Structure 1
């Protein structure tokens, strides 16, 4: 009996010791994990992967933004794209930290359609959409049945329609939203314009085959075209482009540092010399008042809104 009692006590003590050891181990593990998480949370991001379309936005990163961020201790990598689809998908999938190539109407449409959790964070200098000569060299050369190439994505195609409305080549329906205008919103095609819809990157080359081409600024610049060649430019400031990041990153320190670089005096001086004629971010001040007035006037006068009061 005494031996049995002794064995039971010994077993109980051993079991208790094991349980205490296990609890201690779990506590240490939990404490270690918490410490690791805290350390991870406080670790600053030091490599930033940019995604831009080829041309001016990529040049801005390579020539000015990268050196400015390197002074802050960052490593900068740039991936350039030749389309308007992959940059947002790559951002959402984590291949990029930030992209710079799009205006807000396009971003809003794209992230809604593809259910992406990305958001705009700051504006960047942007070449305006322009009408360039093709086989015909002057606006006065327009004739019945002339062909005009235009970007085929919905938001930029809407811009092209508004430009042709401004020129009197087509008439859009009263009250149409200029940000979402489509072919269905054409009330009259006074010049019987043949609109050729193409991927934006193909528009510069299309000039050999059409009478006029409406070309996105970044692709015009990357193709060696000049803003001084445009026959007509859109007046609206609604399409000044934005940088976008994953929504979870929008308040990160690295995003604030990138925004600071793009809004720095050094970058402003560089952009105004290197990209003269561009539309600049509202945050820069000098173009904000002019842009707001210009946009309001253009929207009000370009597309009559007789039926808009009920909206």
Structure 2
């Protein structure tokens, strides 16, 4: 049985309060560095914050099948939002996190003055367009409403998916941070910005929605089968990775976990369990 710790809304709120009240060392604090990174106790459990699916599932596989042989004690704490895992990592409430891609982390660090850094890529969750009303892309027509994630990087990613499939036209130069204002031709479509985690529940209230792969799977959608359009894996910058607070990359426990997450066993687990809806994307992260 999995013994991961899942944060409910109340628990998450309590953690957020504790983070605000706890004085922790920063990246420039010598005392903080002395107790972390390469000098961290290798016998203590490595605590990793993760989204429930697929991140915590992959970590649970590592914990149950690979960690003990590698001499790694692993504890997984599940979070259901995209903010607290980074905040908890920055403040030392957890040792690492596994839930995000590079464009999101870059934007988060910039806005919050945090110093989280990627360690190793693990997998890609293709973003997909879903609908309970349309059976094909050609069914998405003028006057209909499409929901997109409301956070900066995932909204830009969603708009690119729509543009790549001919549903909208973006202005020249609109990149990964594209906003609704960057749509040059909406082709009669209307847009609704919704928090990424709640998009599956809103699917019945709109004509279509662009949903992150992990949230689609949690909602019993199969991206490879159920999506009207799906991101391509080749050359995709949105691989999800293990991340830590800067300075902790050489923690021996982190290095062990990084190696296990890029192992042949984990590759097979991802391919067998997710059948193309989530794909391995091993290797170094983009700088």
What band does the TM-score fall into relative to the shorter chain? Answer: 0.7 to 0.9
- 1:149 maps to 147
Counterpart in the other structure of 1:23? none
TM-score (norm 1): 0.74
Q: Which has the higher helix share?
A: 1
Query: Larger Cα Rg: Structure 1 or Structure 2?
Result: 1
The 5 Å alignment of 1:225-304 reads 225-227=221-223, 228-235=225-232, 237-277=236-276, 278-283=278-283
Q: Deviations over 1:53-86 (max 9, x none)?
A: 1211111111234531222333221111111111
Aligned partner of 1:170 in structure 2 is 168
CA distance change for structure 1 residues 42 and 197 in 2, over 3 Å: closer, same or farther?
closer
Contact 2:102 2:238 survives alignment (8 Å):
yes
Residue 42 to residue 48, structure 1, CA distance change in 2 (3 Å) = closer
Q: CA deviation at 1:175?
A: 2.2
C-alpha distance after superposition, 1:228-249 (max 9, x if no partner): 1111012251111111101111
1:96 to 2:94 alignment? yes
Structure 1 stretches lacking a partner, 5+ long: 1-36, 285-311
Q: Structure with the greater relative contact order (CA < 8 A, sep ≥ 6): 1 or 2?
A: 2
Correspondent of 1:87 among 78, 85, 88:
85
1:214 deviation in Å? 0.6
Query: Could you tell me how far apart the structure 1 residues matched to 2:220 and 2:59 are?
Result: 19
Q: State the superposition RMSD in angstroms.
A: 1.9
CA positional deviation for 1:255 = 1.3
Alignment of 1:97-246 (within 5 A): 97-177=95-175, 179-190=176-187, 192-227=188-223, 228-235=225-232, 237-246=236-245
Structure 2 residue runs without a partner (length 5+): 1-34
Deviation at 1:42, TM superposition (A): 7.7
Q: Report the 3-state secondary structure (helix = DSSP H, G, I; strand = E; otherwise coil) of the residue aligned with 1:135.
A: coil
The alpha-carbon deviation at position 94 of structure 1 amounts to 0.9
TM-score (norm 2): 0.80
